[in-house]
Amino acid sequence: MSLKQVYITNTSIFLPNDPVSNDDMELYLGFINGKASKSKEIVLRNNGIKTRYYALTKEGKPTHTNAQMTALAVKALFAGEPEKIKSLELLSCGTSSPDQMLPSHGVMTHGWLPESNSIEVVSPSGVCCAGMHAFKYAYMAIKTGEVKLAAATGSERFSGAVVSNVFEEEAQKLIELQKNPVIAFEKDFLRWMLSDGAAAFLLSDQQNEKGISLRVEWIEGVSYANEMETCMYMAGEKLPDGTLKSYMDYTHEEIMSKSILSIKQDIKLLSDNIIPLGGKRLKEIFEERGLEPGDIDYFLPHISSDYFKSKIFDIMALFGKTIPYEKWFINLYHLGNVGAASAYMMVNELFHSGKLKKGEKLLLLVPESGRFSYMYALLSVC
């Protein structure tokens, strides 16, 4: 069987409503016990985010579901050629914040696309890597000749989980926060980091006749769950022995009193491992594929906070594979942390910027702290 070349021929994004400034965040998310957060300014100072997007009104009411936003991003791939959506053969949708546990996020998105045909739909789950898993499934389907045209998406809508009426107040550790910004990665930090939105790639076995395309050279991932405990989790509780107890094994009363459905994170585990493990595999990829930092024109690392930027740089320097900052492209600061959609959003901004030149190479890095998984991809402008 001969394998096909795979190209990203278009990218799109959907951002709900207007950008929300740091000063206005609590107008949308609400005040805990009627009081402004004591840790907000410290967390924002370390994450570097200036604006983000919420699928909410200022009264905290939802304006879009995750599936609706994802469908709007898919439709945007066909702007100017709406009938072309009928040529779509595969829809691959990744998210860590589906609107419901069942049915899957992918089929709910497909339900908002009545103008499409009956097609294959998949829904990779996980945390930030879910969007990249969706991308890889679409890539492999085209690579093997199963389909000719596919859409892959990444999306998030976490705002509904951090509005004040469903968010449990946590004690603030201001002195510790000032000494060590990683401590901010407790439940409260998520209120000041997460952003809503969706983005999509259109993948084909044919490159664009006009304009640029991005040839997918390779996509690969790695999980260290065989040696690492759970770090970031939701709908469960981490026990003293490191195992995770499912929400199904708690009573309804315990689910509420223990805040089981909230997103939580093991801070020490995150701090000690997220950068070294990701850097270790990146070094191995450079060696296995014969890559050098000079081969990369744009480095697109998904980071949840500006705090991690220098940490990634330092670990690359330690491994002797430093990519200089002038080659980095990050849009965290004006879009916020959109989890599974963040890599898509970086590629989308570059794709439509007019800056890319044929022959240039883009290296994507997406970590997730769920149980320490990483995805990497190399794209060539053609």
Q: What percent of the chain has pLDDT over 90?
A: 81
92 vs 72: CA distance, rounded Å: 14
Q: Domain 7-204: which topology?
A: Peroxisomal Thiolase; Chain A, domain 1 (3.40.47)
As a whole number of angstroms, the distance between CA 271 and CA 375 comes to: 19
Q: Which uninterrupted H or E stretch holds 203?
A: strand 197-204
pLDDT 10s digits, 118-135 = 999 999 999 999 999 999
DSSP-derived letter for residue 163 is: S
Could you tell me if 361 and 377 are in contact, meaning their C-beta atoms sit under 8 angstroms apart?
no
Give, for 3, the enclosing helix (H) or strand (E). Answer: none
Q: CA-based angle 105:109:113, to the nearest 5? A: 165
Q: What pLDDT sits at residue 271? A: 87
CA 211 to chain centre: 27
Domains 7-204 and 214-222+266-381 share a fold: yes
Q: Is the peptide bond before 103 cis (omega within 30 degrees of 0)?
A: yes
Tokens 């950008």 found at: 19
Place of tokens 């590629």: 347
Q: Are 375 and 220 in contact (CB under 8 A)?
A: yes
Per-residue DSSP letters for 71-89?
A: HHHHHHTTTT-GGGGGG--
* Other CB atoms within 10 Å distance of the CB of residue 255: 15
Range 214-222+266-381 has CATH code 3.40.50.2000: no
Distance of CA 46 to the CA centre of its chain: 19
pLDDT for res 332: 97
Strand partners, 310: none
Question: Considering the entire predicted model, what is its pTM?
Answer: 0.94
Q: How many CA atoms does the CB half-sphere of 128 hold within 13 Å?
A: 30
User: Which pLDDT belongs to residue 179?
Assistant: 55
Domain ranges of the chain: 7-204, 214-222+266-381, 232-264
Residues of the chain under the 70 pLDDT cut: 166-189
> Three-class SS of residue 341?
helix
Q: In the beta sheet, which residues pair with residue 236?
A: 246
